[in-house]
Amino acid sequence: MSTPAFRFDEVGAWSVIKLEIVEKFGVAYTKAFANNPRLKKYYIDGFSGAGVHLARGTGAVIEGSPARALKVQPPFDGFCFIDMNADKTAHLQTLCQGRADVDIHTGDCNSYLKEVLPTIRYEKYNRALCLLDPYGLHLDWEVIALAGASRAVDMFLNFPVMDMNRNAIWHNPDKAPKGGIERLNRFWGDETWRDAAYVESPQTNLFGDPPDLVKQGNDAIVAAFQKRLKEVAGFEHVPEPLAMRNSNNAVVY
């Protein structure tokens, strides 16, 4: 491995679990299509990173999602890796040297995926596994909607629970920061997250003020997003989410 001019991301145990799931899912995905050579199966990684991480604490080298996708057998027919950090995509280039089946793009994945996803066409026998793994609320609902509408894209989404709770869904909705609310609106596609995030307190007040709003737990919000993936984005199957926890047992994704 060449030494980069920047520091690789340090990742915790939950990231390693996520990477193992993505890798195993990738193998099952390409195997499922192995008997149908007409189908072209692509791997799209919207927040790809550099392809290499370091384990927090030990510094051990951990292969990132693009490096794992490149090893999947039977192989994908093509790869699209996107990251807005030019140092990371430059390092990724070194891992993909000489490969004609890899497209690496430096920039915001939201605008690039709005061009790429419509090229994955069910009726043209294209299929894609698309990993959307942002640190926080940096994804645009339009991208999710395009993936759902295609009927040809399987999406693996890391739902940024911690960023949502820290920066948008506060116990007092009136005090939540505007920037966080805007990012959540963009991620969710509209403001209907408020219906899942807050319910009116059953306690009455003496002065006829509007009822207090009570913030709901992660499960209610995530369940509403699952419903939205099915009913608004049009994904046929939306499995139960798996909580990724940090060393303090708090749900991060």
Ligand X SMILES: C[S@@+](CC[C@H](N)C(=O)[O-])C[C@H]1O[C@@H](n2cnc3c(N)ncnc32)[C@H](O)[C@@H]1O
Site for ligand X in 44-63 (CB under 6 A): 47-49
Longest dimension (CA), the chain: 73
Q: Kindly calculate the radius of gyration of the chain based on its CA atoms and give it in whole angstroms.
A: 20
**Cross-strand pairs, 130:** 44, 155
Site for ligand X contains 109 (CB under 6 A):
yes
Site for ligand X contains 133 (CB under 6 A):
yes
Side-chain half-sphere CA neighbours of 172 within 13 A? 3
Site for ligand X contains 135 (CB under 6 A):
yes
Q: DSSP letters along 106-135, please? A: ES-HHHHHHHHGGG--GGGTEEEEEEE--S
Q: Which of 22, 20, 95, 13 is nearest to 55 (CA)?
A: 13
Site for ligand X contains 160 (CB under 6 A):
no
Site for ligand X contains 163 (CB under 6 A):
no
Site for ligand X contains 102 (CB under 6 A):
no
Q: Which of 183, 172, 168 is nearest to 221 (CA)?
A: 168
Judged by CB under 6 A, the residue of 41, 127, 138, 183 near ligand X is 138
Site for ligand X contains 26 (CB under 6 A):
no
Helix/strand number for the chain, H first, E second: 9, 10
Closest CB to ligand X among 108 and 154? Answer: 108
Closest CB to ligand X among 84 and 223? Answer: 84
Judged by CB under 6 A, the residue of 88, 91, 127, 183 near ligand X is 88
Closest CB to ligand X among 92 and 197? Answer: 92
- Residues at the interface with ligand X (CB under 6 A): 19, 47-49, 64-65, 82-85, 88, 108-110, 133-135, 138
